[in-house]
Amino acid sequence: MDKLNEVADDLKLLGDKTRLMMLGLLQEREWCVCEFVELFEISQPAISQHLRKLKDKGIVKESKRGQWVHYSLNVEGKPHITAVLHELPDSHALLSSLNKIGVTACCD
């Protein structure tokens, strides 16, 4: 039952469109918090809250570079998440849906 609860909790997190899009984008490269703020046009605290939830469940990992935190996928051992991510549009399509093709990193 513990595994069932873990899968259910993970899938609940993926029920949020913003988090799901973040994970879709993270499939191709790591992203900085500041880039997600620009992409989603929501506040830095809101972005950080989404990422904290994903990090707490071990779905993403973070690395700090200077003042910025970069996130990458960490779905090894989570085939249920990998299966969901496999069904998502690629990053170009996701960025296009946000009207954000060609977004540049703001923290480099």
- Model's pTM, two decimal places? 0.88
For position 51, what pLDDT does the model report? Answer: 97
CB 70 within 8 A of CB 32: yes
Residue 104 has pLDDT above 60, yes or no: no
Tens-place pLDDT, residues 74-103: 999 999 999 999 999 998 899 888 887 665
Is the CA virtual torsion 58, 79, 10, 30 positive or negative?
positive
Fold of the domain built from segment(s) 2-97: Arc Repressor Mutant, subunit A (1.10.10)
Tens-place pLDDT, residues 12-63: 999 999 999 999 999 999 999 999 999 999 999 999 999 999 999 999 999 9
For position 65, what pLDDT does the model report? Answer: 87
